[in-house]
Amino acid sequence: MWTSGVNALWRAAYRRAVRSAFATVPLYRERWALGGRTDPVVVPGRTGTHGGAITAEEAVRKVVDLVPLAGGAASPDPARGLGHVLPLARPPRPGTLVVVVDPAIPRPPTDLPNTLRGCVLDPASLTGGTRPAALDEVVTALRRNGNVTAVGPDEAIAALVAALPEDLAHRVDRLPHRALDRLDGGPFGLIHDPVLGYLGGIGHCGRWHLDWPRVYARRTTGGLALTLLRQSSPRLVDILVAGGVRGEVAPCPRHGTPVVLT
Amino acid sequence: MSVDVEVLDPRFDPEPAYWSALRERAGLRADWAWEVLVTQAWCARTPQPVVVLRDGGAPAAVVAAAWISTHSRRHRFVSSTRGGRLGGLDVRSPGSSAVPGWWFADADGADAGCGRLLTRYVPVMRRELGAGLRGLLVRQVPEAGVARLAGRFRLVRRTEDVGVIDTAGLAGTEDWLAGLGKKRRHNLRRIAEAVRADPALEVAMLPGAEVDPVRLAALLRHNERKHHDVPIVPLPQFTGYLTRLLRQPDVLVLRYQERATGRLVAAALVLDHPNWPVVRAWSALPVDDGGRADLYFHFYGETVRWAAESGRHGVIMGKKLAHLKKSLGARLVPQYAAAIPL
């Protein structure tokens, strides 16, 4: 399945994203035309550094040039993709309240399915004098036997749990963030990057699956370069996250879809 | 007398050996530097042919244009080498809408080189592009060239005037202020005093190389968003383009920066010239986003002071806001555009 199906579709989507970025996005146009890139090469004879990939820091710094000529959003959404990776990592039941506890995510996710409700909670507000309204909602949901999934860094989730009444704390489902260079053995977790958003999660098989219909990864000399296949603006193509992570992309022996091995 | 021709595409052609000498001789500003042209050509919607006519081996004329064809798209960079078979040439300066896009060594004041565009440039491009070349749009035509370009089935229209402030003979800003209306003069003095008294704001005219092109690009977007009132919205100045432009030795930036945070509050980009520098762009943060009011007026005073002290004949302030520019001491130079079917 990997070689004949998913891989072919995946690569075709990536090549379309590269062609479109070269034709419409100023940063890639300038970078790949003058410096070059690989896989695919867009200007014969020019292969560039790191296969044309750029660091996430540079992408953020030059974000005005990641907006295509037709216009669009000029700031990355760190909550992007959560709705798509949740079913992969910890399928939520209908009606679940998804609480994003990460100081780097100021706005709630926009791509949650209609059956879920999402909110953000700044962990710093849990220790302040005023009790945040979202925390009351979490307590209310748990008292009504509802489901709550907490998503964020370990310490932020721990702060949320510590702020809950003792009899309810154990009922929160935890989905910790993991950076690409800090992937562990699970059993639950989401691959998250502050610039690209949610990239994948641990599947039932215990492997770190990519959200492959929306995220492409390839090896470059600078590390794994990630591409958001469906985000129109800011266009993020071949981004070296976490300073450039050595690793590879391989098919999952159980599912046949791409997993990350670092 | 032998005449030969080079039709260059900066995307693919290396910098000609004579290019720096040609730029200097023709008085072409930094937007004509080859590495700047290369970046601009790649990040353009259309091919940008640069034609050099040589006379007896030495470059004697240069013309920059955009080849706008049926392949051109508003939201896409040029997608092929040729860029379509049917279209027209838009003759204009590569980086400024205030100066012409051609130079002829033997041009006289009678038609400002417009006649030579028709007799020498058009045949070259006809040979290069074939029968698909159906029209010529010549912009920044001075008054002297109008009669030469006018004719049957040709459309010549006056466009926005260009504001020029003459600084020859000025000892400084006081001389310039003396020539302005009383209210304007009083207002400018008040603004200058307010900026001088603002300890948080640092104002300096700097070589372009000392300015961060990425932050400047972000700042310039504020102003570029205001000028979407034209049929073909110009592309913004991208970071790659500004990186190469700012490192040219003849580019200056009037920078308004917050001392404490280093945040760029406003900036003017000046393409220097021994006699007639051009203000290429101005932009300021909106007041709601932490910008300062009235810096646009302050920038006029600073630019005039710099031009007067450095012995320039004057400063070309560009198009738009003609009445305001006039009230700030600029003379308005009429500009025309000519559409010529071929």
pLDDT tens across A227-238, in order? 999 999 999 999
CB B312 within 8 A of CB B277: yes
Least confident window among A103-107, B110-114, B275-279 = B110-114
Contacts of B218 in chain A (CB under 8 A): 64
Contact A27 B238 (CB under 8 A): yes
Q: Which CATH architecture has domain B3-149?
A: 3-Layer(aba) Sandwich (3.40)
pLDDT of amino acid A220: 96
- Look over chain B and give the mean of its residue pLDDT values, rounded to a whole number: 93
Contact B77 A69 (CB under 8 A): yes
Measured between CA atoms, the residue of chain A closest to residue B35 is: A34
pLDDT of residue B250 exceeding 60: yes
Kindly indicate whether the ipTM for this predicted assembly is greater than 0.95, answering yes or no. no
SS3 B4: strand
How far, in Å, CA of B253 to CA of B176, rounded?
Answer: 21
Looking at the complex, report in whole angstroms how far the Cα of residue B43 sits from the nearest Cα belonging to chain A.
6
Measured between CA atoms, the residue of chain B closest to residue A59 is: B214
Residue at token pair 């974000």 = A63
Average pLDDT of the segment spanning A62-89: 95
The size of chain A, in residues, is: 262
pLDDT of amino acid B3: 55
How far, in Å, CA of A102 to CA of A78, rounded?
Answer: 10
pLDDT of amino acid B1: 43
Average pLDDT of the segment spanning B266-295: 95
How far, in Å, CA of A198 to CA of A88, rounded?
Answer: 12
Tens-place pLDDT, residues B197-247: 999 999 999 999 999 999 999 999 998 887 777 777 889 999 999 999 999
Structural domain boundaries in chain A: 2-72+207-261, 82-194
Residue of B42, B45, B217 lying closest to A64 (CB–CB): B217
Read off the pLDDT band of A131 (50, 70, 90): confident
Residue of A29, A65, A70 lying closest to B42 (CB–CB): A29
Tens-place pLDDT, residues B310-321: 999 999 999 989
Read off the pLDDT band of A186 (50, 70, 90): confident
Contact B43 A23 (CB under 8 A): no
- Look over chain A and give the mean of its residue pLDDT values, rounded to a whole number: 93
Average pLDDT of the segment spanning B185-196: 95
| Mutation for testing the A interface, residue in B13, B43, B228, B289 having most A CBs under 10 Å | B43
Looking at the complex, report in whole angstroms how far the Cα of residue A52 sits from the nearest Cα belonging to chain B.
15
Task: Give the pairing type, strands A172-178 and A148-152.
Answer: parallel
Beta bridge partners of A176: A152
- Which residue spans of chain B are classified as CATH 3.40.630.30? 163-332
pLDDT of residue B43 exceeding 70: yes
Average pLDDT of the segment spanning A207-230: 96
Q: Which residues contact B267 (CB under 8 A, 6 or more apart)?
A: B211, B216, B219, B220, B253, B254, B255, B256, B282, B283, B284
Joined together, the tokens standing for residue B212 give 């961060």
Question: Which of B100, B153, B165, B171 minimizes the C-alpha distance to B335?
Answer: B100
Task: State percent of chain A over pLDDT 90.
Answer: 88
Residue of A30, A62, A64 lying closest to B43 (CB–CB): A30
pLDDT of amino acid B258: 95
pLDDT of residue A41 exceeding 90: yes
SS3 B82: coil
Q: Which residue has the higher pLDDT, B5 or A4?
A: B5
* DSSP, res B29: -
Residue of A24, A33, A62 lying closest to B214 (CB–CB): A62
Read off the pLDDT band of A262 (50, 70, 90): confident
Q: How far is CA A195 from the centre of its chain?
A: 8
Average pLDDT of the segment spanning B124-134: 94
Q: Check residue A58 and give left, alpha or beta (phi > 0: left; psi -120 to 50: alpha).
A: alpha
Average pLDDT of the segment spanning B133-155: 94
Give, in order, the Cα–Cα distances in Å from A62 to each of A27, B15, B216, B292: 8, 28, 11, 24
pLDDT of amino acid A2: 59
Average pLDDT of the segment spanning A45-72: 95
- According to CATH, the superfamily of the domain at B163-332 is Gcn5-related N-acetyltransferase (GNAT) (3.40.630.30)
Read off the pLDDT band of A3 (50, 70, 90): low
Contact B241 A30 (CB under 8 A): yes
Average pLDDT of the segment spanning B28-34: 97
Read off the pLDDT band of A1 (50, 70, 90): very low
Contact B39 A30 (CB under 8 A): yes
How far, in Å, CA of B311 to CA of A76, rounded?
Answer: 47
| Mutation for testing the B interface, residue in A19, A30, A37, A55 having most B CBs under 10 Å | A30
pLDDT of residue A172 exceeding 60: yes
